[in-house]
Structures are given as C-alpha cells and as structure tokens.
Structure 1
Amino acid sequence: MDPTEPQQVRGLRHVVAMPWPGRGHINPMMNLCKRLVLRDPTLIVTFVITEEWLGFIGSDPKPDRIHFATLPNLIPSELVRADNFNDFVDAVHNILEEPFERLLDRLKSPPPTVIISDTYVVWAVRVGERRNIPVVSFWTMSATILSLILHSDLLISHNHALFEPSEAKEEEIVGYIPGLSPTKLRDLPPLFNSNILQVFKKSKLCFDELPRAKCLLFTTAYELEPKAIDVFTSMFDIPVYATGPLIPFQELSVENKRSKPDYIRWLDGQAKSSVLYISQGSFLSVSEAQMEEIVGGVRESGVPFLWVARGGESKMKEALEGSSGFVVSWCDQLHVLCHAALGGFWTHCGFNSTLEGIDKLRG
C-alpha cells in the first residue's frame, strides 16, 4: 500500500517519521517505527529520507507497513557533510521544510495522524501546527546530554564555557547541571569549542520548539538516567517517555557459512572473548598524530582486533600490516557484538553504540 495513493483506507492511523539525515538518527527512528507497527496492526508509517539515504538503506528489511518517501537531494551529501557541518545544519534547517510540506500534501491514504520528528529538525513542530497535526519530538542521544545543552547558560555563569580551558580549569568539577552527576569539565562535551560553537548556537533553536510538541521521547531507559528524565518531567508540561534502547530485537544470526562475510569468518577462528572491536563511528575525526598513537598502541598490545576504518581502510591495513587484527570499511555491528569471540568494544561513545554495547553485555 502506497500512502500517497488517493484511495480510502478506513481504520488505519498514519505516522510520518522525519529523522535528522544522519546514520545515528535514522537507525533509532527506524527501530522505533518497526516496534510501533509490530505492536499496532492499524498503524502505517511513512519514513521520510533524502533520495541519497534511500540509496543507502532502501533495500534494508522492514515491515510491509513502513514505506519510504523521499525528499530531493538539496543538502550536502552524507559522504562530505563532515567537511563543513555548519553548512549541512543550515541546509537541513532552511531548505528541507518546503519539500517536506509538499510531501505531506501527497499523503492522503489515510492523511497523517501524527508526525514523529527528530528534535533537531527545527521546523517540524511549526509545520505540524500549521496543519493541525500533532508532533512528537524524538531525542536520539542521552537525556543527560540534552539537560547539559538546555542548561548551558549555567556553564557560562560559572565561567566554564571556555574555548580552550587551562589544565587546572579542566580539573574543576561541574556539579550544578540538573540531572548530571558531578563531572570534571574535561569530561564534558566541548559545547563552546570554536569548531562547533556555530552549530551549537543553531541547534539551540530546536529546543525552543520542545514545549510545543505533544510529547518528548528518549531512547534511553529510565533506570539508566533517572535523574535526567526526572528533570524533563518537571521542566515541561508535555508527557516525557523513555522508550528503552531502540535496538533490533529479532534473532541475530548468520544463515550459513557461505553467506558469512569475511570478518565473521575471521571472528569464528578467534578464541572466546579475545577480540577487541574498534569502531569510532561515522562522524568522528582525530588528528594524524593521534591516529598514529592509537595504531601504535593497538599494534603493540598484541590483542586480536576487528577495526572498522570508514573511509581509510587501505591506509589502515597498510599501517597495521603484520598485526593480529582484521580491518574492514564497514560491518554489521550488532552481529559483531553478539559474536562469542568479542571481549571488548572500543567506541567513540555515541549513544547508539553505547546502548548496543550495554545490551550485548560488551565492556
């Protein structure tokens, strides 16, 4: 069933899902939609992505009642967005609203019942208000981080909003952010770092829209972040829900030996709990000097490793030639985390990867 076709469908409710165009946002949104349609047989979902992202995920398995709808490629490509993330944010905020509204005009079978939008999509709430469609705000990072962002003015008033804090300053304890346990300044995200300050200022516009959403969803579990969740239930008049980690819960298995990718066959030959899985995410960069130190440390450790080197596989293989590891450009992370050979997970600590590691009991 195509929800854009002008046919009468009775008894169905229509969710329009609008994720932020990035892997760490699209994956949890899709997993949320899968759970919704599995729980409610009267639900259909239109999942909105760019034409580029349809090429990336269009062939992934999904329930029949989830349909893709595309926006034109009017924003910088996913392959280069890290080169100037400020321009990427501007494009999403300023260009995609109009084509999204044109898409809503075509959704008539049945008309949209609700919009679930990533919190960072700044225009979603006002689009819903213009059309009398309720909007659910979906935050894909930790609740604690959102509290830190919304209370960043406290960092300024305590002289902790610095571009380059001194070593002594970095050791100071930040103990005044609601929902955040006392933490050293150096362990907090660098919200006021000169490289991301402009993006941070633009992103704050999204949070002004939060109180006008119909509810706020977090992908965390209450038991993981009770203090932060409680902050938002007291801060907002709208309902606040913790969905729990949005990780695929279907059985993860490789069907047969012939269908196994090379890295799984390599893992099959390693001892139980012996392999370090290294994946620094899709949107993290380190200096060349830092990478040389990391590579040297991993090589000298002698520990078997599986390393995902996005965009630099050949160079990484050359640097690690003769070591006890396996380098790939991509892997199915959940399958890897479920493998008996895995003993540890070295991650950039993006929230999705952190939750997946916790869920699969990987240190």
Structure 2
Amino acid sequence: MASSITSSGSKTLRVLLLPHFATGHIHPFTELAVSLAASSSPNATVEAIIAVTPANVPIVQSLLERHSAATVKIVTYPFPTVEGLPKGVENLGKAATQADSMRINIAASTESLMRPVHETLVRAQSPDAIITDLLFTWSADIADELGVPCVTFHVTGAFSMLAMRHLMMEDAAIDGDDTVTAPPFPTPQIRVPRTELPDLSIFRYVFGKVHSMQAACFGLAVNTFSGLEQQYCDMYTGQGYVQRSYFVGPQLQSSESPTDDSKSQYIGWLDTKSDHSVVYVSFGSCALVSHAQLDQLALGLEASGKPFLWAVRAAEKWTPPKGWEKRVEDRGSSSDPGLHKPPYLRTLQWARF
C-alpha cells in the first residue's frame, strides 16, 4: 500500500484503474478516474491512475484534455503478443474482423497472458485500491495478496449484466415453445426464443470466473444509478451476488463543443428536427456486425420512415446498398461512432436509442 501523509497532514490514496481493451470501456473508466480525483478533500487526496496499453493512451489523453483541472496519471503496460492479430491493434474498435475481435477478447481473459504483466504493474504502482474490468478475473487475487481492496466496475447498466448472468445459468428453463426463460428475475420476465440466442455455453466458463471474482471482491461498481434501475440494483446485494455495490453512473464524457465542420453539421441537422423525433442507432465499440446485417439495418431504417442518425464503425468498411444514401438523405445519416459523445446525446431531438 502506498498511502502517505503529507506535511499538511492530508492523506494521499492511490487508486489504480484497469479497463478492458475497448473504447466503450476506457471512456467510463477514465471518467470514473476523473471523478475520483475530483473527490479529493483537505483531509485526503485521491491519486487516480489509469493503466492502458500503449496504443490506447491517445484515447485516455483526449478525454483528459477536456478536464483541465483533473489530475489523473496514465501508466502503460505491454499488450500481449497474439498470433494472427496485426501489430498495433490493441482495441476492439480497431478490429477489422470478427476473428481479430475474438483474439483480443481471448487474450484479455487469458490469465497466463495477462496476469504476469498486471501483477508487475500493480506491484510497481503499489496502489491502495484497484478498480478492475470484469474480464481481468485475477485482479482480486493480486489485490488480496497485497492486502488492498479490489472493486469490479461494470461499464454497462445493471439490467443488461443481470440478464446475461441469468441467461447463462444452467437452470434457465426451456419452455415447450422452445423459449428460454431466465430465473429469477424481476418483472418483466425475460423470455427469449432459443433460436435468437447465441451459443452461450462457450461463455459459461469465463463468466463463471467473472461471477466468482465478483463475489470475492470488496465490492462492485456499476455505471448506472438506482433511480433508473432500482429493482435490478437491489438484486446485486439482495441475491448475494456481491459483498457491496456502488452505483456510480452515469459516467459520461464532459461537455465539448464540436471542433470540426463534420461534427458541426450533425448538430445543425439535428436542430432542424422536432423534439423526440430522431432514432439514434449505435452498437458501441465492441460489437462487430456483418455487412449483410448492416444492409438489412439500412433497409429497415429506410422503411421505418423515421429520421435517424446511425453510428457505423469505420472498421466495418461497409458500403450502403446502392441508392440508399440518396433515398434517405433528407431524413437520415450514417457516420462514425464519435457521435455517441456529448453534445450529440444531449439534444432533445432523440426519440429512440
């Protein structure tokens, strides 16, 4: 433990944050680090340290530049060598194929690859507490060896994580109509046609380790707030899944003004739409969608007759169906996922997400 007492009598607490290799995880981890650093008081200073691989440093830096007063330290550790993965691809948002995406996720969850570098990093930083992403299931063991608390941080909300947990349970019932029912879950009950579910058996081993780590950790932090998901928030501790729960969301990026013409044009376009009229479509930085699926989404948005803004990852390298852009040009647009940042999500025009 590295906590220290300054000459003024103020205590310094070092908190190390370990996000997964995905922009959608690095963003909320960085914002949480900023919030922790801002929570310093005359009696205690919080030194927030966010650890990423070298190729992910610019993501953190771009966020910290918007917080001029924030004192957050960036440290790096090497990304593992992964056979078949192009050099420098260290983020799911840069994965051009489903295979590359799987390679990154498998590397992230492989203890023999990741634990040695994480253990070296943690011992070098000597933190007073660790906040870890859920795939790094060895973090709790490392923290226990050092005698410091470890908290798991879920970057998504309570409902989605609980739904995944219950759907992957062995006792999820299959009804006579071939529908899977996940027990036990608050109203509304989750019933999903089995044909619409992926093969979750391949994830059970990994998520079994995740759930074991969560139970062993000092606590669980979730990027939500109880006023939004009260019944699901209550389940974490009520069902005995975790020892303590902290609902610290939403961790959103700070306000920013559009910095280039391409971004400004979307604000101008949104301003021409009535309130609560625009459909926003985004699958984040982790999901890879096939070109055939993107084609169907494009045609569905066209058929909906609703104005829309669609964030398509540049890595998809997708070309819309012939004539589609011309047919929807007055009421729809597709662009990069940079749109799912403030100020775009803070307008009144959004109707659906």
Following the alignment from structure 1 to structure 2, what is the Cα–Cα distance between the partners of residues 19 and 55? 14
Displacement, 1:115? 0.5
Deviations 1:197-241 (A, max 9, x none): 323422321211222211121222223333333332231572222
The alignment status of 1:221 with 2:229, answered yes or no, reads no
Aligned residue number for residue 73 of structure 2: 67
Displacement, 1:123? 0.9
Partner amino acid, structure 1, of 2:295? E
Contact 2:284/2:337, CA 8 A, preserved across alignment: no
Following the alignment from structure 2 to structure 1, what is the Cα–Cα distance between the partners of residues 319 and 242? 52
Contact 1:115/1:128, CA 8 A, preserved across alignment: yes
Contact 2:24/2:286, CA 8 A, preserved across alignment: no
Gaps of 5+ in 2: none
Match of 2:184 among 177, 182, 190: 177
Aligned residue number for residue 99 of structure 1: 117
Displacement, 1:44? 0.9
Residues 73/253 of structure 1: CA separation in 2 closer, same or farther (3 Å cut): closer
Following the alignment from structure 2 to structure 1, what is the Cα–Cα distance between the partners of residues 144 and 182? 38
Secondary structure at the aligned position of 1:35 is classed as helix
Share of identical aligned residues, percent?
A: 20
Gaps of 5+ in 1: 161-165, 347-363
The alignment status of 1:240 with 2:245, answered yes or no, reads yes
Residues 308/147 of structure 1: CA separation in 2 closer, same or farther (3 Å cut): closer
Partner amino acid, structure 1, of 2:40? D
TM-score (norm. length: structure 2): 0.77
Contact 1:71/1:96, CA 8 A, preserved across alignment: no
Residues 186/25 of structure 1: CA separation in 2 closer, same or farther (3 Å cut): farther
Q: How does 1:8-157 map to 2 (within 5 A)?
A: 11-41=11-41, 42-60=45-63, 61=65, 62=67, 63-74=69-80, 76=85, 77=89, 78=91, 79-80=94-95, 82-92=98-108, 93-94=110-111, 95-107=113-125, 111-152=126-167, 155-156=170-171
Displacement, 1:49? 1.0
Partner amino acid, structure 2, of 1:199? F
Partner amino acid, structure 2, of 1:117? T
Following the alignment from structure 2 to structure 1, what is the Cα–Cα distance between the partners of residues 275 and 230? 35
Following the alignment from structure 2 to structure 1, what is the Cα–Cα distance between the partners of residues 216 and 158? 18
Aligned residue number for residue 361 of structure 1: none
Partner amino acid, structure 2, of 1:243? V
Partner amino acid, structure 2, of 1:72? P
Displacement, 1:131? 1.6
Q: Structure 1 residue runs of 4+, over 6 Å off?
A: 255-259
Residues 313/304 of structure 1: CA separation in 2 closer, same or farther (3 Å cut): farther
Corresponding pairs, count: 323
Secondary structure at the aligned position of 2:281 is classed as strand
Following the alignment from structure 1 to structure 2, what is the Cα–Cα distance between the partners of residues 97 and 281? 27
Partner amino acid, structure 2, of 1:246? Q
Q: How does 1:204-353 map to 2 (within 5 A)?
A: 204-234=208-238, 235-236=240-241, 238-248=243-253, 250=254, 252=255, 254=257, 261-311=264-314, 312=316, 315-316=319-320, 319-322=323-326, 323=328, 324=330, 325-333=332-340, 334-340=342-348, 342-346=349-353
Residues 102/306 of structure 1: CA separation in 2 closer, same or farther (3 Å cut): same
Following the alignment from structure 2 to structure 1, what is the Cα–Cα distance between the partners of residues 286 and 312? 12
Displacement, 1:153? 6.8
Displacement, 1:56? 3.3
Contact 2:282/2:337, CA 8 A, preserved across alignment: no
Following the alignment from structure 2 to structure 1, what is the Cα–Cα distance between the partners of residues 152 and 271? 42
Deviations 1:165-217 (A, max 9, x none): x9x323x6x36314463122239983xx33x5323422321211222211121
Compare 46-55 and 318-327 and name the one that shifted more: 318-327
Displacement, 1:313? 6.3
Residues 203/27 of structure 1: CA separation in 2 closer, same or farther (3 Å cut): same
Partner amino acid, structure 2, of 1:241? Y
Displacement, 1:308? 1.5
Residues 303/142 of structure 1: CA separation in 2 closer, same or farther (3 Å cut): closer
Residues 202/237 of structure 1: CA separation in 2 closer, same or farther (3 Å cut): closer
Partner amino acid, structure 2, of 1:338? R
Compare 66-75 and 177-186 and name the one that shifted more: 177-186
Following the alignment from structure 2 to structure 1, what is the Cα–Cα distance between the partners of residues 194 and 160? 12
Residues 155/185 of structure 1: CA separation in 2 closer, same or farther (3 Å cut): farther
